[in-house]
Structure 1
Amino acid sequence: MHKKRFSIIGMMMLVFILFPVHALAVDYSISEVTIDAQVNADGTVEVRENHTYEFEDDFNGITREIVPKEGTSIQNFTGFENDSELEVERDGDLYQIFRGGDDETITIELRYEILDAVEKFEDGAEFYWPFFDDRNESEYEDMTISVSPPALSEETDFVGYDEAYKTGTVQNDGTVLFEMGLVPEGTNGDIRVVFDADLFPALTQQDGTIREELAGEKDRLDNEAIAFAARQDTGSSIGNGLIPAAGALLLAMTAWAWNRARKTKQQAKPADGAFFVPKQKMSIPATLYFTKSSILTPAVTAAALMELVRKKRIEQLSEEKFRLIDRKTEFDHEAALIELLFDKAGDGEFFETKDLENYTKNELNHASYNESITAWQQDVAAEVKQHELYGRHPLLRWTVGFIGLALFASAVFFGIMDLLPLMFFSMLLGICFVAFCFYSPTTYDGHVIRAEWKQLRAAMENLDEAEWNRLTQDEKMRAFAYVLGADEKSKNHSTQSFTNAYSESAFADFGVFYNPVLLTGIFVAANSSTTASASGTGSVSSGGGVGGGGGGSGAF
């Protein structure tokens, strides 16, 4: 019973690790928020908030985080819908208001009191509060906050920070109305309101004044806004020149690279003429890796086996039986294949196709088989790399990389300056320039290799027997091995037809029993068996609002 319980708990933990909380979150938007804060003569503030949520699926309720600033507290938190009280649960500073439903728009009213929220000075009483801060994970599409005095306040003053800056107006009774409109998630918006001091006779008066400090804050924010606007104009001027210039440079470099690659490819194209098998510049597996695909299929493994027969490192005794003649190989990948087939699957000297089947049927051998195949593939890739068939252009790479990083830095600057279109295009161009760092065009020799073997494949589809008979035995073996490995679907229709037509004349003197379907099939089965086996296998935050206060909204 205990084991079953621990298994269930483990599965639940795995689900939460693999699927982030956001993926399981309720889909909603908050279209409107109105907050009415009534400041009382005793220094308490009665708050009524109306949150309009638009849900697009099932939901259980909404959340409201209210983190009181230092020296204050929240009391009597309740939730209502159409004057009907809702169930509320509190977890620290987070309140859950339960109201389930499915794909609907609801308006929830929240009521609570803030204790000790007003400070009285010689020239006024201040309510300084963050109704939300950078911990908020929800966007408010339209937010309005009103702060009302206990009675008529003739000398009301105020200031708003961040999202509340320049959004407030004083009403006839001294109420301050902050019409913020759209408030993005993760932003601050502290408000600061000063009423007449004589409206709060019960509060203890502190030494000093507050209105002069408030005037200083207004001047500071205005000066910062002016300086920001000036920097924004400068950034806009720079960006309007930088982005088009960078875009033009990128287009010019792309056109240059494309034209150069096109010319190199045209120059490497072989002249039309008699059918021929290309000279041996790389092994057949490496040639297939380079000319066809870096994903080496079982057909390529079969071709690699036939290459060892051609090189007389292995003797083929029958369609299904091979004998190891010489372990001395030209390439590391040939040694890796011999080790897998003769040492692991075979008896060290002989290898039969059934040996590989029996070897891979045992699940204990799957890891060893996969390791050997991976090592073989890596050695094939290493051979291709040694031939340097892709251009490097280090100076070009360093140059475009530096330009890309400079554009990323510019994107950060434009983001800080709130120049979002310039930030987007700067980031986009930066990504393109950094991507250009990986520009490695195929060299002339590489194009020659690809063109020659492509011509071979095309010619062998309708090959005249007379032309085929003019080839040497070695050329015939290389041609067959290449076409065998190039069969992407591993059905070997082309190589089977060649075998039926030409195998007797091609391999009679070579001691080869050529059956492409059988050869490829044993590696397809081995890969399938081993692949199936292999496939089976909280933080503390600090608020950004005044006095450590703030909060936000959500749903569950």
Structure 2
Amino acid sequence: MKKLFGLAIIIFSILVFPIESLAVDYSIDNSRIDAFLQSDGSVKVTEKHTYQFDGEFNGITRTLIPKNNTEINDVTAEEKGKKLNIEREDNLYKVHRKGEDENITIEIFYTIENGVEVFSDVAQFYWPFFDESNESDYGNMNVFVHPPETTGNVIAYGEDAAADSADIQRNGTVHFSMGSVDSGENGDIRVAYDVSLFPGATITKDQPMKQEILADKESLEKEQAAFAHRQDLLSGLAPYIVGIFVIYLLVLVVYAANQRRAVQMEVAHQYVSAHFVPDLMMSLPATLSFMKSGLLDANVLTAALLDLVRKGYVKKESEDTFSVIHKQTDYQHEKILIDWLFYKIGDNGTFHLGDLKKYTDEESNHETYWKDFEAWKQAVKEEVKEHHLVDKKPKLRTIIGLSSIIVAPFAVLFGVHELFLPMFLAIMLFGALLIFAASFRVKTVKGAILYKQWKEFQERYPTISDKDWQDLQSEEQQRAFIYSFGLNDKQLHKKNEQIKEVLPQNDRSNSDIFAFLFIASLVHNQFEDSHTVAAATTSTGGTPGGGAGVGGGGGGSGAF
């Protein structure tokens, strides 16, 4: 039976794709472990692992974590009778054997001191040859436990990956045929023989243990039977549980589609196409925020500064210098931007582009820079919010989000009971419902009309003729340019460059728009550089695992 820890790893791996991969590409096709119990209580172990490598490799690894009160000694390795060099790092043994694109079989030999626990009536070998810290899959795992001599009085069973795998042979040898074993699984084995087979072993505890072992075996068998019963029950329920939530999700999707369709029908009834540049329902920065789904970057910040020039609050003194004309603005975010650029970064109402670099070159200003930028962004979003362009349906989204939590326990139950297809589907449904709850919103009629008008402008702007552009009023040209620059669309940017090329520079009627075209990139580059300089970075790290088998033992396999 899989542990919850292993299940958590599986679920996490499905939701968040792994970011690390093994340095060596390999598989372990066959593994055979022979444990020869000695009359003195030690255990001579021979392991044979067949690896298939794709690409270059330096060798294999074997982690051998001893149980409490035991030791692992005399570790050696061979290939076809030839001894191989071993490098030890705590419980990790690196067997050096270089090669490329090969199938190799390595034998590992070692002795477990005090591996057999001796009691007054029985002696047991209770051992984890691998545990959940193992990072490799075993294609076919077989473990053989050999008694010191032929015997017929044997108790044997396995746990987790070794469950239902014990076969007691005539001579007393126990074969644990586990087959395929995934990484991250435990697989403790337990074999008990008559104590008379170990006359030279030290008594672990002078008390009987046979009945306790039999009770543990019976308890495990009951657990396994109960597990099988629950597995059958959940297997039968899974299609209905998954089906109910699939229908629930489909109902939500249909509801969302109907909501949007109703808005579009009303928009079609009310909509009047703009002549070319739509009239402003709200400020240009707020319009850009709405059209860019709330993304306010250096392009929008540049557009906001140019919009202050367009509205006459700020005057362009030269290519890189601006000064404040009026501090009384229409919107709070305009006031914040003026205070930030012209009085905190600039000086007494004058802002040079170079001031931005000087300000952000000082590391002590970085936190303040981002706080002021966030304050401006928040004020822009507040303006958008005031216009009720989107119905976020908070109550419905909360209900959907809470209902998605119901799916999570089923995903865990399916995983615990090794019903991986229903588990995967439940996880997908859980994620889909969460995404729906987080993202579902419907534009209001007002929002849909505004969106449609500016989308039409975006489609028409790249194809406007030079004559039609010249026929526009200067204020319309400025709005068109500022919006297209802030949107940061490749086609619109290309059109702006074309307009710059064809404008007659000596025509005074075009002086304002030409100035906008010329300084926009300068301002944007400075804002972009300042954002980069002020940006912070983070880092993450990880920790290794340890032995989780019976008695603190365990192990695993790998390659390098």
- TM-score, normalisation: structure 2: 0.81
Which range moved further: 486-495 or 244-253?
486-495
Distance 1:308 1:126, change over 3 A: closer
In structure 2, the CA distance between the partners of 1:48 and 1:496, relative to structure 1 (3 Å rule), is closer
Judging changes above 3 Å, is the alpha-carbon distance between structure 1 residues 516 and 467 closer, same or farther for their aligned structure 2 residues?
closer
| Secondary structure at the counterpart of residue 96 of structure 1 | strand
Q: Please give the per-residue CA displacement for 1:399-453, whole angstroms capped at 9, x wherever unaligned.
A: 2112211111211111112211111111110000011112122222111111223
Aligned twin of 2:435: 435
Tell me which residue corresponds to 2:45.
47
**Aligned-residue offset at 1:265:** 2.7
Q: Give 2:328's aligned residue.
A: 328
In 2, Cα distance between equivalents of 1:80 and 1:175: 25
- Report the counterpart of residue 338 of structure 1 in structure 2: 338
Contact kept, 8 Å, 2:122 with 2:208, in 1: the verdict is: yes
Contact (CA 8 Å) 2:343, 2:350: kept in 1 or not? no
Amino acid at match of 1:228: F
Q: Who is 1:445 aligned against?
A: 446
Report the equivalent of 1:402: 402
2:360·2:534 contact (CA, 8 Å) conserved in 1? no
User: 1:333, CA displacement in angstroms?
Assistant: 2.7
The one-letter amino acid of 2:260's match is: A
Match of 1:246 in 2: 245
Q: 1:358 to 1:90 in 2, by over 3 A?
A: closer
**Alpha-carbon offset, residue 326 of structure 1:** 1.2
Q: Determine helix, strand or coil for the equivalent of 2:391.
A: coil
Tell me how far 1:393 sits from its aligned partner. Answer: 1.4
Paired letter, 2:552: G
**CA–CA distance in 1 between the matches of 2:305 and 2:409?**
53
Task: Write out per-residue CA displacement over residues 285-328 of structure 1, whole angstroms, 9 at most, x where no aligned residue.
Answer: 21122125644566645543443344332356788875532111
Local SS of the residue matching 1:414:
helix
Matched letter for residue 218 of structure 1 = K
Cα drift, residue 363 of structure 1: 6.7
Q: In the alignment, what sits opposite 1:551?
A: 555
8 Å Cα contact 2:274-2:453 kept in structure 1: no
Does the Cα contact within 8 Å between 2:35 and 2:46 map onto a contact in 1? yes
Map 1:467-482; keep pairs closer than 5 Å. Answer: 478=479, 481-482=482-483
Shift of the alpha carbon at 1:552?
2.1
- 487 and 504 in structure 1: CA distance in 2 versus 1, 3 angstrom threshold: farther
TM alignment of 1:148-297, pairs within 5 A: 148-203=146-201, 209-269=208-268, 271=271, 275=275, 278-292=278-292, 294-296=294-296
- How far did residue 247 of structure 1 move? 0.6
| 1:59 counterpart (57, 60, 64) | 57
Query: What is the TM-score with the length of structure 1 in the denominator?
Result: 0.82
Match for residue 493 of structure 1?
495
CA change 1:169–1:382 in 2 (3 A) is same
Query: Corresponding residue for 1:129?
Result: 127
Total equivalences in the alignment? 531
Pick which of 194-203 and 93-102 moved more. Answer: 194-203
Taking a change above 3 Å as real, the CA distance of residues 553 and 472 of structure 1, as seen in their structure-2 partners, is closer
Per the alignment, residue 33 of structure 1 pairs with 31
Q: Is the 8 A contact 1:156 1:174 kept in 2?
A: yes
User: Whose radius of gyration is greater, 1 or 2?
Assistant: 1
| Residues 298, 523 of structure 1: 8 Å contact kept | no
| Higher mean C-alpha displacement, 108-117 vs 433-442 | 108-117
Counterpart-to-counterpart distance in 2, 1:292 and 1:506: 34
SS at match of 2:47: strand
Find the counterpart in structure 1 of residue 455 from structure 2. Answer: 454
Q: CA contact under 8 A between 2:315 and 2:324: conserved in structure 1?
A: yes
Q: Deviations over 1:223-267 (max 9, x none)?
A: 111111221222223322110110111112112202321331342
Paired position in structure 2 for 1:100:
98
- Unaligned residue ranges in structure 2 (runs of 5+): 1-17
Which stretch shows the higher mean deviation, 179-188 or 330-339? 330-339
Q: Distance in 1 between matches of 2:58 and 2:308?
A: 68
Equivalent residues in 2 for 1:83-98, closer than 5 Å: 83-98=81-96
Does the CA contact (< 8 Å) of 2:34 and 2:45 recur in 1? yes
The change in CA–CA distance for 1:363 and 1:119 in structure 2 (over 3 A counts) is: closer
C-alpha spacing 1:22/1:458, structure 2 compared with 1 (3 Å):
closer
Distance 1:393 1:298, change over 3 A: closer
AA of the residue aligned to 1:547: G
Alignment map for 1:305-454 (pairs within 5 Å): 305-315=305-315, 323-339=323-339, 342-343=342-343, 348=348, 355-356=352-353, 360=357, 364=361, 371=370, 375-438=375-438, 439-454=440-455
| 1:292–1:136 Cα change, 3 Å | closer
The gaps in structure 1 that reach 5 residues or longer are 1-19
